[in-house]
Amino acid sequence: MRASIRIRTETHTTLRELKATTGISMQAILAEAVDKYRRQEMLTRLNDAYAARQADPAAWDDWQAERTEWDYWASSTKSA
């Protein structure tokens, strides 16, 4: 599927320069950049959620108890 988007002239120039130096198409460079950005955003949200859980003592204690239980069950099935 093809779609057109508007980008800044500077961004287009950078894409052209990267294409010239790497031999990778501008579409592939842009796709990789968007994928990396998506992954970074996911990790940022995950870290924020983790920090929020740590900031709530009751939620953190619940989380630690659940992890302990999962660890117990995971280790007990390995020896079976």
Is the predicted pLDDT of residue 79 greater than 80, yes or no?
no
The token pair that represents 61 in the structure block: 């204690």
**What b-and-e string marks burial along 34-51, b requiring 16 or more CB atoms within 10 Å of the CB?**
eeeeeeeeeeeeeeeeee
The token pair that represents 3 in the structure block: 């779609």
Per-residue pLDDT tens digits for 22-68: 999 999 999 999 999 999 999 999 999 999 999 999 999 999 999 99
The token pair that represents 59 in the structure block: 């939620």
Is the predicted pLDDT of residue 1 greater than 90, yes or no?
no
Note whether 47 and 41 are within 8 A (CB). Answer: no
* Whether the model pTM is above 0.85: no
- Distance between first and last Cα of the chain: 50
